Structure 1
Amino acid sequence: MPQHVPSSLRAAFPRAPQHLPALPPPRRIVFLAHRDLRSPAAGGSELLVDRLADGLTRLGHQVTLLHGGPALPAAGSTRPDGVPERAYRVVSAGGELGHYLRARSAFGRRVGDCDLLVEVCDGMPYLAPLWHHGPTLCLVNHVHTDLWRMRFGGPLTPAARIGRRLEHWALAGTRHRRLLVAVSPSTAQALRAIGVERERIRVVHNGVEEPGPRADRSPEPLFLAVGRLVEYKRIDLLLRLWERVRPVTGGRLLIVGDGPERERLERLAGPGVEFTGHVSEAEKHRLLCAAWLLLHPSAVEGWGLVVTEAAARETPAVAFDVPGLRDSVADGETGVLAHGESSFAAAWCTLALSAHRRELMGKAARERAARYRWDRTVGQFRAVAAEAVRNPAP
């Protein structure tokens, strides 16, 4: 497993100012992203964009999200279930894959112009600096270097090789030297590894909502994994480890989320495993409060937003020492970072059998999560956005 990001490296990347500057005149900001939050495949990246767009709108900016997928009702309308729509504008650029080719024309037809275009780079790039002549900013959750191989399986196929090269070129090799926002020191380090200059990188962490009243902790062992069921989340590995852990701890393992891997994973699951599919925010809150541990076996993350969501509810995490998760989990304080499958299983069993240690870690996790709130994230991102507009790339 990769080693920790050195503290010297964590401090080396510029960070956005901690305090909001005076409010400038409202600017027109467009986010160009793969999915909208209401997509069935939405995850942490979509939640981050939603919170940024909503927060910037509340600060007086005019924000539009241009994305792939079905068009949504106009801003300010109300859904049939009575829930108000978001304040910012949401525009579809076409299908989930086709919109990559149509993004430029959809921007011209449906948006027209803006003061800042924020390209959300989640693997396949839009190459916005090549066709948008105004200021651009790139938001990066994580660099997909190793995920291209995992996505296409086996050796590095031609498709995976092309995807990886295109992503690296878009981030590090385009002629426009735009700023890039990384969501963690690990992502910043990955950007440096592919050749992005240090002075172009700004680190803006994810936030978390202030949780509502606590729900009860489960009296019986309850372990939780939350996320989209795709290859790199490695839920199959978690299911294998459960067969080693279950005889020691007993209890239940809940897998919250959906995705293309679900059918295969359900076939692999042994006794005590339950797949819930998508759940409401209220139910997710209840489960995060009830769980004894959050389990996060992912191979890589940008940050690992659910770790902070669990931490805010005093639930420690067991994860692998991989990019992103080594930033959101303080090893030995708010959870445990494992360096292999055996150490993951050992940490799982040890914490399950020690209520006192879980309680101490849970309290430390809650205290750490209090430092990460969405208003702080929006403020830091807004400062970087102002910098990108004030000093556009040549």
Structure 2
Amino acid sequence: MPQHVPSSLRTASSRGAGPHPAGSPSPRRIVFLAHRDLGNPAAGGSELLVDRLADGLTGLGHQVTLLCGGPAAYGAFRDYRVVSAGGQTAHYLRARSAFARQVGDCDLLVEVCNGMPYLAPLWHHGPTLCLVNHVHTELWRMRLRGPLAPAAHVGRRLEQWALSGAQRRNLLVAVSPSTADALHALGVDPARVRLVPNGVEEPGPRADRSAEPLFLAMGRLVEYKRIDLLLRLWERVRPVTGGRLVIVGDGPEGPRLRRLAGPGVEFTGHVSEAEKHRLLCEAWLLLHPSAVEGWGLVVTEAAARGTPAVGFDVPGVRDSVEDGVTGLLAHGESSFAAAWCTLALSTHRRELMGKAAEGRAAGFRWARTVRQFEAVAAEAVRGHGPGAGTPGGRGS
């Protein structure tokens, strides 16, 4: 079923679409404060989103800087400026001094909060906007276990306070209704949340679908993506469907997952954009067993090539997959395996879902995402200052 979106979020998400509105703000200096940049070997969907926003805003005349943790990829292939604030962990502590030293000032600071916050509102007194891909509530426990369990508790509490407390006077951008719901559950006023879904590139010329069953999983090989679960299910599915399971991506889980892999499994590591496009076109299904997502960008990338997805009914994935229309959502491991086999064995149903997925993906383009974000950025600037009340002109 399609995800219900509160009226306040629907209104916010429609702002900025279409031509640049008359009387819109002049180009301003915008700084993104984020964990990584797109050139980082560990980059994922969050980094791609920030890159597309920064590049798109630059194209609209804004002066954009990305202040991030290292290693940062400097190069002429980007039109916006990239500045490193230090090491992967240390930059959280150095963000304030790096901002003062290497940026100096801006008209809007966008804090990208993906778990560990920068607490920018405590040290930056100009307009601030918080961009949230997904709330890490359960991920803290998944990533920090055993002796590190106390740190998981601290991280969870810090994230909650940062989003509901430190950002209490600012607008927050959520990339999906699931993320907006999670923010509300943490105590964030829904009136301060704006929905700006991820976009996708125009896919270009289509490669032919594979003649033999080809199932694709794509993303960072990290624990919460649950590729190990997929490998277990493959042992049950393969005797029914045959074919290949291709896993694209790198990450810390890679060596362990390769040891777990049985017959018919291929690991490609990182691939080029051209190879990624080819695989998304050739695949019969995208398999996305992640425990949580902000949006599940690869689901929309696959959909743009007419490839339906099978995932779990979890935050983010339930937003990017329209259950029963553009793919199937499972409620357990056996349900996932059954959905996988069902679509693999039914060419007609798979093709109908692929066409529906392609049609839905056409409504998500990066140009629209950038326009929506630009409108929220302008609202954040207008709402800042003495007597402004709650951002967006609503009373506090």
The interval holding the TM-score normalised by the smaller chain is over 0.9
Q: Is the 8 A contact 1:149 1:155 kept in 2?
A: no
The alignment partner of 2:12 has SS state of coil
Q: In the TM superposition, what is the alpha-carbon distance from 1:110 to its structure 2 partner?
A: 0.4
**Equivalent residue number for residue 310 of structure 1:** 302
Q: Which residue of 1 aligns with 2:64?
A: 63
Distance 1:393 1:192 in 2: 25
Once the two structures are TM-superposed, the CA of residue 174 in structure 1 deviates from its matched residue by 1.8
Q: Deviations over 1:295-344 (max 9, x none)?
A: 00000000000000000000000000000000000000000001111110
Please give the alpha-carbon distance, in whole angstroms, between the structure 2 residues aligned to 1:372 and 1:72: 28
| Equivalent position to 1:347, from 331, 339, 345 | 339
1:24 maps to which residue?
25
Corresponding position of 1:15 = 12
Task: Give, in whole Å, the separation in 1 of the partners of 2:283 and 2:147.
Answer: 38
Residue in structure 2 matching 1:112, options 90, 104, 112:
104
Distance 2:237 2:167 in 1: 52
Paired letter, 2:12: R
Alignment correspondent of 2:249: 257
**Bigger shift: 9-18 or 325-334?**
9-18
Distance 1:38 1:302 in 2: 21
* Equivalent residues of 2:224, 2:290 under 8 A apart: yes
- 2-structure distance, mates of 1:56, 1:281: 23
Residue 89 of structure 1, aligned match among 76, 81, 92: 81
Structure 1 unaligned segments of length 5 or more: list them: 78-84
Residue of structure 2 in register with 1:80 after alignment: none
Does the Cα contact within 8 Å between 2:56 and 2:367 map onto a contact in 1?
A: yes
- Tell me the amino acid that sits aligned with residue 132 of structure 1: H
Q: Matches of 2:72 and 2:218 in 1, distance apart?
A: 27
- Would the alpha carbon gap of residues 137 and 175 (structure 1) be closer, same or farther in structure 2, given more than 3 Å must change? closer
1:178 partnered with 2:179: no
- Aligned CA-pair RMSD: 1.5
Check whether the contact 1:5–1:185 (CA below 8 A) recurs between aligned residues: no
User: What's the counterpart of residue 41 of structure 2?
Assistant: 40
1:156/1:185 CA distance change after superposition, 3 Å: farther
1:136 and 2:133 matched: no
* CA distance in 2: counterparts of 1:340 and 1:12, whole angstroms: 33
- CA distance in structure 2 between the partners assigned to 1:73 and 1:289 by the alignment: 32
Report the identity percentage.
79
Q: Which position in structure 1 is the counterpart of 2:74?
A: 73
- What TM-score do the two structures reach when normalised by structure 2? 0.94
1:162 aligns with 2:163: no
Aligned AA for 2:333? E
SS at match of 2:354: helix
Change (3 A) 1:117 1:175: closer
Cα deviation for residue 11 of structure 1 reads 3.7
Distance 1:194 1:126 in 2: 18
Shift of residue 72 of structure 1?
A: 3.3
Cα distance in structure 2, aligned partners of 1:181 and 1:59: 20
Shift of 1:73: 2.9
Matched residue, 1:392: 384
Does the aligned pair in 1 maintain the 2:37–2:72 contact within 8 Å? no
Secondary structure of the residue that 1:108 maps to in structure 2?
helix
Q: CA deviation at 1:155?
A: 9.1
Equivalent residue of 1:157, what SS?
Answer: helix
Aligned residues: 381
